[in-house]
Chain A
């Protein structure tokens, strides 16, 4: 059997905080193919690529190129062996020209000086060879995102890359730019380059990739010929659920409004509208879902609801039980009974080096219950932590274990436990199940529904359409800072129909959207 171009065997990567990002992963790359690596956020795709590019060393396992074992200890090692990487966030110097960026670290010289003309010539030559048109003398800061990406690809090629790793290359591109990129990639493939394409957009994977490796929860779920599998099959392997979610919801009538947002507008420092006249209400016992492609104002909306708004100007009002919270600080908002499950549990949701117990009390350590005179009531805290760990089925060695050592799903359960166990009036749940395994996700959904039955109002923001359609009592769609659709019975809406609104192709009339305020 001929050797694969690049083979990774039994790769396991444990980060110093105990997170197992890769678990016994096998990956093999054939010469001249476009090979997709697909998986949800947190599935371990990026870690695997970092190992391939020498940015991380695996804890276990080995890598061979053309049958020869190699040790990649730095990106330079990888570059020397013909591996190039295009990062999701470009690694370019904005104030330099394209040509200068191109030769960074391998500058052609004239005597002791830098030979700029040679750099320009080299850039032009490479650009012509690979049919990637760029202007060598343009400054990088003036380029469009698509252009910057071309420069990144050229940068890798100039360094002699035969294997090109593209980390979510289309995430930042417009559909036209994506088309163009695909043509370029095909061209590269014809010239004998091998491409690793990381993505979770299945259509794109189907469109240009020859083979696909699917990852889930740090493990590889197998390698497939792209033409042999359907999108449904890929997605099933990625998320690991066969059946779509179905829950029985209590039929409790909604109570009085707990949250009313009225004509909320937010502008950034350049005066660009981030939110425009957003109005809706959430009542007791109601889950209001907010769908939309990332970056259409959801972040600003959540900030306005949770006290993190740093925009230059905002107008309108956000009321929790008749108290306007637009200018209130976080402590005040929380004291009104607002809980918040943040999108990024590592950055905001948890203190990694602190214990599970410390993480569980962060929003209620001030309360009389938890204190005894000037001291914290250690017994009460221990009892609370133990009961929450048990109720939320957090898999750990005990409440004193540092939370950073838990898996993503268990860490998220701690966050959910903290936010849901204070009987909140209003819960803002932002991507509550992102990057967690299906078991934990279902558990979290159950907890949200329990909270709903107990009369809490919930705002649910999620990129998982299945989740949002299934859980929400009513659904808003955001596009470019505005609400463009309102549905009273989300389980009757199809994902395709929702997609049209999310992409801004359809929008409802004002009257229909206006019903979001009263839910009549």
Chain B
């Protein structure tokens, strides 16, 4: 017997199944060998150690941004600024990775810390605007994405660009700055450990500390939080600082873990993907792990499919769009929830 409290879990599972089903239908229509293509899509990402490595590498930045966005959503802040911060903190970490000379312990620590702190400070701006003047955080954070991208690109073009390279990329990072790989045969780097630690810390913060409690109550009902004596403006600024810190750390870790030069000439998109990860995870830090891995899995699957079959990888956008649409559509499966509610209400009456 299903209960109302499991409704959200069931709904998310149903959404994913429907999205996959639609993907299969499209593949069947487009592909000459649909079964083989579907096989590639589902199986290839987990077929070899290298491919599993690819999935996990891709999940690392998604976990960072997914975690940052989850905390913001949890405070009822619809802020999509993780995108710009992720990018800009990558630039900051790159500057330090190029110009500092430290040993291989301190170098990445300093670079990542700098990227994180810059991320926190940048994120605080929309936070303060929201808390003090009630400026819509969605608007300010999206505008910030553009600003940060513009400034970051300027730094890349005029200060970091390696003229000897044939593309628009920065000078090489010092070897000491790069994160070490932790599994041979894959590119999985120590960033995985960092992000898992952050997720556990965020979980403890959110559910086990008084500050996390304030954050959750402010998110559920700000009037209630204020009435209870909480300083909700401070809570809003705090959650922006933390989310910016995590997003900035994500950008720094990604740059130092996966590349030897800074090479994003456009926004990498991880910030907005973070919103999708957060939605799938229902804004729960621990669930971010699973939802980031799932998203990385279907993306790598689509990649493999594009390489090994006749279906292009853009197909994955359709799956993502369906997932976002159905998850955010509150009415989806609502009739079923209402039926369950009615039954429970009758049982209690």
A interface vs B, CB < 8 Å? 12, 14, 16, 18, 20, 23, 59-60, 308, 329-331, 333-335, 340, 342, 347-354, 358, 361-363, 365-366, 370-371, 374-376, 378, 405
Contacts and interface: CB of A to CB of B under 8 A. Distances in A.
Nearest to A334: B229
Interface of B: 4, 204, 208-210, 213-214, 216-217, 220-221, 223-231, 334, 337-338, 341-342, 344-345, 349
11 contacts: A12-B345, A14-B342, A18-B341, A18-B345, A331-B229, A342-B227, A349-B227, A350-B224, A353-B221, A358-B217, A370-B210
Contacts of B225: 351, 362
B338 A59 contact: yes
Given A352-B220, A376-B208, A376-B210, A59 B342 contact: yes
B229 A14 contact: no
A375 B208 contact: yes
A131 to B, nearest CB: 44
A376 B337 CA distance: 33
Contacts of B228: 330, 334, 362-363
Contact of A365 (B213, B231, B342, B345): B213
Contacts of A342: 227
A23 B220 contact: no
B223 A23 contact: no
A23 B345 CA distance: 10
A23 B220 CA distance: 28
Nearest to B346: A12
Contact of A18 (B217, B221, B344): B344
A23 B348 CA distance: 12
B227 A374 contact: no
A374 B231 CA distance: 19
Given A18-B4, A342-B227, A348-B224, A375 B342 contact: no
Contact of A354 (B216, B223, B337, B338): B216
Contact of B341 (A16, A350, A370): A16
Given A352-B220, A371-B210, A14 B345 contact: yes
A354 B217 contact: yes
Contacts of A347: 221, 223-224
B229 A363 contact: yes
A308 B227 CA distance: 8
Nearest to B222: A351
A334 B227 CA distance: 10
A348 B227 contact: yes
Nearest to B207: A376
Nearest to B334: A16
A59 B335 CA distance: 9
Contacts of A18: 4, 341, 344-345
A366 B217 CA distance: 14
Given A351-B225, A405-B4, 7 more contacts: A14-B345, A18-B345, A334-B229, A351-B217, A354-B221, A365-B214, A378-B208
Contacts of A365: 210, 213-214
Contacts of A366: 210
B334 to A, nearest CB: 7
Nearest to B218: A351
A362 B220 CA distance: 12
Contacts of A361: 213
A207 B7 CA distance: 49
A23 B341 CA distance: 13
Given A349-B227, A362-B217, A376 B209 contact: yes
Most buried by B among A14, A334, A348: A14
A520 to B, nearest CB: 35
A20 B345 contact: yes
B209 A374 contact: yes
A330 B230 CA distance: 8
